[in-house]
Each structure stands twice: as structure tokens, then as C-alpha cells.
Amino acid sequence: MNTMTSAPGGTREVTEDEIAAEWRERARRTGLRRVMRSSQPDSLNVGVTRQTRAVVTDQLALVAERLGRRPRHALEIGCGIGRLTPAIAAHAERVHAIDMTPAMLDQARATCRHLPAVEFACVRADRLRPPRERYDAAVCVWVLMHVLDESRLRDTCRVIAKSARHLTLIEYEHASVPVSKWSRLRTLEEYVRLLPGAEVVDERMVDYGGDRSFAALIAFGGQDA
Ligand SMILES: C[S@@+](CC[C@H](N)C(=O)[O-])C[C@H]1O[C@@H](n2cnc3c(N)ncnc32)[C@H](O)[C@@H]1O
């Protein structure tokens, strides 16, 4: 499918194929620049990565508290190069990590080759099939801001809400430099409206380089353990 997406200003248009090509291109960068702003110094990227892993770890500990046990099966949506995957694997018995960009997944598989409980798949988030048993936790970090088409975003949010009992969602809500044509800034409230049954149970900020992201732990209805 090659849906045309127009930016809020209505002037720029980006196709689904162009988005996929942009991610393939970003996967050719080196190190953390593949999944972070390429203009940022490496030291900032390393610091933010540490901070982000800590937030994901804290929120998975909250999920364990809510369930009264360690999460059994976790889903990582848009795992990129596997920057956060080992932190998720440390707090769940099994991890299913998906991304739509094969070269990102190659790197993630290499990063996680010592982690047999992690399996990867090349899947687009909106094509995910809800599992028979919902994941205890899903983690989605700086991915949905890159889903430009609003109806595609709605489908993606619906499928996530059906697939998981909890979701750690980290997305920019304020950027000091203009966001590129590949991103949309949305508030946590906007995402919550798109996620059926969502209740925010923990919220923090990830601030760096003048940018601000929310990091929310969202629970979905029907919390059968
Ligand atoms: C900014 S990177 C973040 C990667 C990872 N979450 C992290 O924080 O390191 C965004 C990743 O999402 C993937 N992606 C973007 N849109 C996607 C979609 N609709 N379905 C699956 N993966 C997607 C890209 O290929 C890329 O690897």
C-alpha cells in the first residue's frame, strides 16, 4: 500500500513507501544515530539511552507489582537496533520484538544473540495480530510519532490495546527544533483517546537537549492475571 500522508500544514506529503525507505536509510547510519536524531552528539545519545532504559525498567517493575508476578511475555513494538531489548528481557520471561525495517532487526538480533528468550519478527505495528493470550507488557518507544497517517495510527493503537495488558509508551510531546516531515508531535491525551480502555497509571518525563517526551505506563481494561 502506498498511502499519501499530508502534514498538518498541508504542504508536505509523504508516502508509505517513502517512510519505509527513510527507515532503511537511517539503518545505514552508525551506532545510536540509527534510532536517534543524527544531529545529536554521541555523548547525549548514550546518556538518553541510559535514562530511557531506566524508565522502561522502572515501569516493568510496576507491571510486576500490579500483576503480583514477573511479566511472562512482553512485546516490543519498533525495537530498532535492540537498544532497549536487553532491558526488557531482564524483566520478562520471553520477549517478542517487532520492527518493520529488516536492517534494524539484523542489528537487534546481533545485539541480543546471547538472549534466547527474545524472538524477532519483521512486522509493521498495524499488521500485528493480537495473540490468543495478551502480552503482560508492551513497550513502544519513539515509534508512534513516526506513524504519520491518522487512520493507520488508529488501527495501530487499537491492535496494541487488544494485544497487551500494559503499555510503556514514550513519545515526544515538545521539541525545541522543528520536527521533521517524518514525525508528528502528539500529547499523551491524544494517544490515550486512541487506545481503547487505556488508563495512565504512571507518568514521567524524559527531557534532553531541549526536547521533552512523556513516558507513560498505561493499563488496559480486563486485567486478568
Ligand atoms: C526512532 S526508532 C526507535 C527504536 C527503539 N524503540 C529505540 O528506542 O531504540 C523507530 C523504529 O521504529 C520502526 N518503525 C517505525 N514505524 C513502524 C511501524 N509502523 N511498525 C513497526 N516498526 C516501525 C523503525 O523501523 C525504527 O526502527
Domains of the chain, by residue range, sit at 4-220
| Closest C-alpha residue for ligand 1 atom 8 | 141
Q: Would you say the CB of residue 214 lies under 6 angstroms from ligand 1? A: no
Q: Measured between alpha carbons, how far is 5 from 214 in angstroms, rounded to an integer?
A: 25
4-220 is classed in which CATH architecture?
A: 3-Layer(aba) Sandwich (3.40)
| Closest C-alpha residue for ligand 1 atom 12 | 78
| Closest C-alpha residue for ligand 1 atom 4 | 80
Bridge-based pairing of strands 118-122 and 137-141 is: unpaired
Residue 102: which of 3, 180, 25, 183 has the closest Cα? Answer: 25
Q: Which of 26, 100, 156 to mutate to test the pocket of ligand 1 (most atoms within 8 A of CB)?
A: 100
Tens place of pLDDT per residue across the chain (225 aa) = 455 555 554 445 788 899 999 999 999 999 999 998 888 788 888 999 999 999 999 999 999 999 999 999 999 999 999 999 999 999 999 999 999 999 999 999 999 999 999 999 999 998 898 899 999 999 999 999 999 999 999 999 999 999 999 999 999 998 876 677 888 999 999 999 999 999 999 999 998 777 899 999 999 985 444
What predicted TM-score, i.e. pTM, was given to this entire model?
Answer: 0.93
Q: Find out whether 179 and 185 touch, Cβ atoms under 8 Å.
A: yes
Q: Nearest 5°: phi and psi at 28?
A: -85, -10
Q: Would you say the CB of residue 63 lies under 6 angstroms from ligand 1? A: no
50, amino acid identity? R
Angle subtended by helix axes 16-26 and 102-111, to nearest 10? 40
Contact residues for 169 (Cβ-Cβ < 8 A; gap 6+): 140, 141, 144, 188, 191, 214, 215, 216, 218
Ligand 1 center to residue 135 CA distance, Å?
Answer: 19
Ligand 1 center to residue 124 CA distance, Å?
Answer: 9
